[in-house]
C-alpha cells in the first residue's frame, strides 16, 4: 500500500483544530478523550498541487446529529478563519457514520497512534474508493486531552505545559493544574485550544 507520513501543514492543522472546537462544543465542552474517527481530504485532481478537495469527516459523537446541520455549522466556522483562497480549496464536506465501511477500512490501513499527530499522503484504492493524493489526518489532541488526566501540551509558540487537565471553558480556554513551585504563584495555567499543536499523555514514569 502506497502511503507516506508527512508533517501536518499549517492549513490542515488550522482546519483540524477548528473541527475539534466544533466537536468540543457539540459534546457540551467535556474533554472525554474522544476525537474524530476520520478526517480525510480527497483531491478532485490528484495531479494538481493546489487542487480543490472533498473533506470527509466522521466522529462517533456526531452519529446521531443531522448531517445538514453539521455541515452548515462547520462551513460557517471555516469561513470565519480562512481567507477566500483557502476556503475555495474545499469543494465539499461530507459526514459519514463512524461505523461505515470507509472508516473501518481506513482504521485498518492506518492504525491510530495516540501519542502523536500524523498526516498521511495516501496513494491507493481502499474499499473500492480511489484515494490518490489524499491526505489523512490523525489528530491525538482530543484523544489525549482528558479532564482529570495528566498530559503535556505543546503550543504554537513552542511553549510546553505539563500537568493535570481541569477542563475547557465555553471560550475554549483549556485549564491545566501544574505542580506548585516557588516561582509559580498560581497552581493553574490556561491556554487557548486553537493554540495547541499536540498533546501527549503521561503513562507510568514517561511521556
pLDDT over 70 for what percent of the chain? Answer: 85
CA–CA distance, 50 with 52 (Å, rounded to integer): 7
Averaged pLDDT for residues 36-60: 87
What is the pLDDT, as a whole number, of residue 123? 85
What is the pLDDT, as a whole number, of residue 181? 56
Question: Do the beta carbons of residue 183 and residue 165 sit within 8 Å?
Answer: no
Flag the least confident range among 40-49, 53-62, 101-110: 40-49
CA–CA distance, 169 with 24 (Å, rounded to integer): 10
CA–CA distance, 110 with 108 (Å, rounded to integer): 6
What is the pLDDT, as a whole number, of residue 103? 93
Domain 150-201 in CATH 3.40.50? The answer is no
Residue 75 — very low, low, confident or very high, per pLDDT cuts 50/70/90? very high
Per-residue pLDDT at 207 exceeds 50: no
- For residue 45, give Cα distances in angstroms to 8, 133, 134, 202: 20, 8, 10, 42
Per-residue pLDDT at 47 exceeds 50: yes
What is the pLDDT, as a whole number, of residue 70? 96
The answer for residues whose C-beta is within 8 angstroms of residue 150's C-beta and 6 or more apart is 162, 163, 164, 165, 201, 202
Mean pLDDT, the chain, integer: 86
Tens-digit pLDDT profile for residues 178-195: 865 555 556 889 999 999
Domain ranges within the chain, ordered by starting residue: 3-143, 150-201
Amino acid at each position: 500500500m502506497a502511503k507516506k507520513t508527512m508533517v501536518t501543514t499549517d492549513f490542515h492543522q488550522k482546519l483540524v483544530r477548528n473541527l475539534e472546537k466544533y466537536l468540543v462544543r457539540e459534546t457540551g465542552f467535556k474533554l472525554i478523550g474522544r476525537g474524530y474517527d476520520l478526517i480525510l481530504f480527497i483531491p478532485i485532481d490528484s495531479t494538481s498541487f493546489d487542487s480543490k478537495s472533498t473533506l470527509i469527516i466522521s466522529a462517533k459523537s456526531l452519529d446521531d446529529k443531522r448531517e445538514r446541520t453539521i455541515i452548515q455549522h462547520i462551513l460557517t466556522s471555516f469561513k470565519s478563519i480562512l481567507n477566500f483562497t483557502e476556503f475555495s480549496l474545499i469543494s465539499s464536506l461530507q459526514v459519514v457514520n463512524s461505523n461505515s465501511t470507509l472508516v473501518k477500512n481506513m482504521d485498518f490501513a492506518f492504525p491510530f497512534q495516540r501519542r502523536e499527530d500524523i498526516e498521511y499522503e495516501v496513494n491507493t484504492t481502499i474499499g473500492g474508493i480511489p484515494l490518490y493524493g489524499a491526505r489523512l489526518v490523525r489528530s491525538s489532541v482530543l484523544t489525549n486531552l482528558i479532564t482529570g488526566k495528566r498530559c503535556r501540551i505543546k503550543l504554537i509558540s513552542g511553549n510546553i505545559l505539563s500537568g493535570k487537565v481541569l477542563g475547557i471553558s465555553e471560550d475554549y480556554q483549556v485549564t491545566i493544574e501544574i505542580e506548585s513551585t516557588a516561582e509559580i504563584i498560581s497552581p493553574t495555567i490556561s491556554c487557548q485550544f486553537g493554540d495547541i499543536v499536540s498533546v501527549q499523555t503521561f503513562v507510568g514514569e514517561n511521556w
